[in-house]
Each structure stands twice: as structure tokens, then as C-alpha cells.
Amino acid sequence: MIILGIETSCDETAAAVVRDGRVVLSNIVYSQIKLHRAYGGVVPEIASRKHVEIMPHVLQQAIDGASIRWSDVEAIAVTQGPGLASSLLVGLSAAKGLALRLGIPLIGINHLEGHLFSAFIGPDAPVFPDLCPFTALIVSGGHTTLLRVQGPGRYQLLGSTIDDAAGEAFDKGSNLLGLGYPGGPAIDKASRGGNPEAVDFPRGRQKGHLFSFSFSGLKTALLYHLKQHPIPAGDSARLADVAASYQEAIVDALLERTVVAARDGRPVAVVGGVSLNKRLREKLTLCSREKGFPLVLSAPAFCTDNAAMIAAVAHYGLGLRDESALHMDCEPRLELFAAP
Ligand code: KG4
Ligand code: ZN
């Protein structure tokens, strides 16, 4: 089945054509990073206006890039939430219009479920049902969630962050270090060659909550460290040491909980923008060898926000479908877990 995915939950305008949930025929991502950099983060109004302007081009590129015709598309999958309301609305409106015009089903997708399924896209990726049950860590700019996956739509929440997300910790830390936005790639790069043990930053452990994460104390620790020990201008070695130590604290916090959650040698999947982090990938790989669990990481192109992962979810019969999809509103706070 050929599904057109559309994703506009934040500052990426994305469309992709995916066959049978894993064969990516095209994957177009228009990143707005340059527009938001001057503000140190995403400005919702600027993001939504750019989505409106660029969406028709991104959609046409997805169709052309896949070498198909509009009439070949069999369903449209679109991110319903969570995300920025004004950004989500642009993708939803485009998707509804196309579904009506083409007379094909519309499917509303949870963005987090999209990240989860990003591990199963591409020729080298494992096949989802073969991997179940497995442990998954979703680490993005807005979420840090550890879960056990039993099957499609069958997820058990193990723990999540009680304050900042891991990506947020990278972004805020990067601002404090003067490295700019987005912080993850900037800290990843600045920390190369630095000593990860130069500064002992907290790992945010929560007494009695084995799988909870907390990153706001880490950010405050960095703030006070920089006040007490300012980095001299041009001292790139010191900057690398502090950046590497800060990164290490985030990586260790993620790793510690994930390793405890991994069970009976069952696989562990780590997905989302932060899973691109070089140090995290290195330490996870080492750990998986030592502890003997298979590690699944999304291909780099599918770690940060993209629409291929949204189309992939729809393939497994998940998401809001039929009439209710045509009438759906955006859900900025959509959860992956139904309220008990
Ligand atoms: O999944 P994503 O594209 O968007 C959300 O759904 O939030 O993740 C974006 C986050 C940002 O916080 C960004 O700083 C972080 O992923 N990120 C990284 C790296 N690349 C992107 N964090 C650490 N290391 C990286 N190399
Ligand atoms: Zn995301």
C-alpha cells in the first residue's frame, strides 16, 4: 500500500511516500532551523506561516521524488499531535483537503508513535512484529519516554521525564554555553575531544522512581558551574570539557534507566532526535554488547522529525481513521497512553 505521510508538528515541513510501511520512495524535510536560530528556539507563528508557504512545494516534491502520480496514493497519514497547535493545523488542513480531493482514507497519527516506528523504516531495519516484545526509549526535543512494546498500539509506560526532555536539556545547555540552536548537534560537535569527566554533573536520579528522568537540575548545575568557573573566550579545550561533561550526564541518565528496563535479552530500540547523538550511540552500542541485548537505532535520516515515520505507523492499522479522521482537530497534548 502506498501512503503519503505529512508532518508539521514543530519546525519541519515534511512529506514522504512510503510503500508497505518500510520502503521509502521519497522523504522530503524542509527544515526551518535558520528562521528560528536568531530567537534561540522555535517561534510558533513564524513556523506555521512558513508551513503554509512551503507545504505545496514539499508535497509536490514528495510525489515527484517517488516517481508516482497523485492517483497512486492510497491513503494519507498526518500528525495529529502532540506538537504546536498552529503548526499541526497546517498539516491537518492540507491532509484533509487532499484526502477529500483524491477520495482516499485519512489517518491521524500520534507523533510519538511515529518516532517509535522510525526504527522500522528502510532496507536494513528490523521488521516490527519480529522484534516484539521490546523496550523502547523515545528521546526528542519534547519527550523522554521509556516504554515496553508488546505489539502495535500495545505499550506499557515505564517512565518519563518529570520536567525537561533530554532534547530540551541539550537545547538549554547549549544556550548557556553560547553554542546556539539547536543545542543537540552543537553540543555533540563542541564536546568532541573533551573530557567527559572534567565536571561531575548530576544524573537526575529520583528516589523510588527507577525509570523517571529529571533534567532541570542538570541545567541549573551548568548555570552555576559557568558562574563560578566562566570559560575564557577562545578556550575551546575548556569549552569541550564542559560540553562533554554536560553531554555525559544526559547520556548516562538515559543509559542507566534503559539498561535496567531491558529484559531477558529482549531488544532495545532508541528513537527520536536525541538518538542521533554520537556519544549516546557509542555508549548504547558498547552496553548492548556487554549486557547482551540487540540494539535497534533508527537510520539517521529518520531520527529527527520526518513524515516517513508518520506513514509507517499508518501501515500497521494504527491511528484515527474513517469519518472521525476527517473531522479531527489537532491535539497539541496528545498522549501515547490512554488515560486509565
Ligand atoms: O525528534 P525531534 O526532531 O523533534 C521533536 O519531536 O522534538 O528532536 C529534536 C531534538 C532537539 O532538542 C535537538 O537538539 C535534538 O533533538 N538533537 C540532538 C542531536 N540532534 C538533534 N541531541 C543530541 N545530539 C544530537 N546529535
Ligand atoms: Zn519529534
Grid coordinates of 34 = 535558520
Q: Residue 255 pLDDT > 50, yes or no?
A: yes
- Would you say the CB of residue 277 lies under 6 angstroms from ligand 1? yes
**What mean pLDDT is predicted for residues 105-110?**
98
**What mean pLDDT is predicted for residues 179-198?**
96
Cell 500520534, located at residue: 110
Q: Are strands 144-151 and 134-139 parallel, antiparallel or unpaired?
A: antiparallel
Radius of gyration of the chain (CA): 20
Share of the chain above pLDDT 90, in %: 94
Q: Residue 338 has what pLDDT?
A: 60
Q: Residue 194 pLDDT > 70, yes or no?
A: yes
Q: Residue 64 pLDDT > 80, yes or no?
A: yes
Q: What is the pTM of this model?
A: 0.96
Grid coordinates of 319 = 491511528
**What mean pLDDT is predicted for residues 148-169?**
96
Rounded CA-CA distance 6/51 in Å is 11
What are the pLDDT digits (tens) for 72-96? 999 999 999 999 999 999 999 999 9
Q: Residue 340 has what pLDDT?
A: 41
- Tell me the best of 111, 140, 175, 302 to mutate to test the pocket of ligand 1, counting ligand atoms within 8 Å of each CB and taking the most: 140
Q: Which ligand neighbours the alpha carbon of 111 most closely?
A: 2
Q: Is the dihedral of CA 186, 190, 194, 200 positive or negative?
A: negative
**What mean pLDDT is predicted for residues 331-339?**
83
Distance 115 CA to ligand 2 centre (A): 6
- Would you say the CB of residue 258 lies under 6 angstroms from ligand 1? no
Name the residue type at position 297. L
Q: Where are the domains of the chain?
A: 2-118+302-325, 127-298
Q: Residue 192 has what pLDDT?
A: 97
- Would you say the CB of residue 108 lies under 6 angstroms from ligand 1? no
Q: Residue 155 pLDDT > 80, yes or no?
A: yes
Identify each DSSP E strand in 196-308 by its residue range: 268-271, 295-297
Q: Residue 337 pLDDT > 80, yes or no?
A: no
- Would you say the CB of residue 305 lies under 6 angstroms from ligand 1? yes
Give the residue whose CA is nearest to atom 23 of ligand 1: 184
DSSP code for 337: S
Share of the chain above pLDDT 70, in %: 99
Query: Who contacts 23 (Cβ-Cβ below 8 Å, separation ≥6)?
Result: 123
Q: Residue 205 has what pLDDT?
A: 87
Distance 48 CA to ligand 1 centre (A): 20
What are the pLDDT digits (tens) for 38-63? 998 899 999 999 999 999 999 999 99
Beta partners for residue 270, in sequence order: 137, 297
**What mean pLDDT is predicted for residues 107-114?**
98
* Cβ neighbour number for residue 2 with a 10 Å cutoff: 17
Rounded CA-CA distance 194/83 in Å is 34
Distance 124 CA to ligand 1 centre (A): 22
- Would you say the CB of residue 272 lies under 6 angstroms from ligand 1? yes
pLDDT band at 124 (very low <50, low <70, confident <90, very high): very high
Q: What single string gives the DSSP state of each residue in 68-101?
A: --GGG--EEEEEEESS-HHHHHHHHHHHHHHHHH
Give the residue whose CA is nearest to atom 3 of ligand 1: 304
Class of domain 127-298: alpha beta
- Would you say the CB of residue 331 lies under 6 angstroms from ligand 1? no
Q: Distance of CA 17 to CAs 52, 72, 291, 307, Å?
A: 20, 10, 37, 8
Rounded CA-CA distance 338/245 in Å is 37
- Helix (H) and strand (E) counts in the chain: 12, 10
Distance 166 CA to ligand 1 centre (A): 8
pLDDT band at 339 (very low <50, low <70, confident <90, very high): very low
Name the residue type at position 68. I
Torsion-angle region of residue 184: left (phi > 0), alpha (psi -120 to 50) or beta?
A: alpha
Per CATH, 2-118+302-325 and 127-298 having the same topology is answered: yes
Rounded CA-CA distance 153/273 in Å is 22
Q: Which ligand neighbours the alpha carbon of 182 most closely?
A: 1
Distance 135 CA to ligand 2 centre (A): 19
Our CA angle for 115, 156, 170, nearest 5°, is 45
Rounded CA-CA distance 207/201 in Å is 17
Give the residue whose CA is nearest to atom 22 of ligand 1: 184
| CATH number of the structural domain 2-118+302-325 | 3.30.420.40
Torsion-angle region of residue 77: left (phi > 0), alpha (psi -120 to 50) or beta?
A: beta
Name the 3-class secondary structure at 232: coil
**What mean pLDDT is predicted for residues 188-202?**
97
Name the residue type at position 332. P
Q: Residue 332 pLDDT > 70, yes or no?
A: yes
**What mean pLDDT is predicted for residues 16-36?**
97
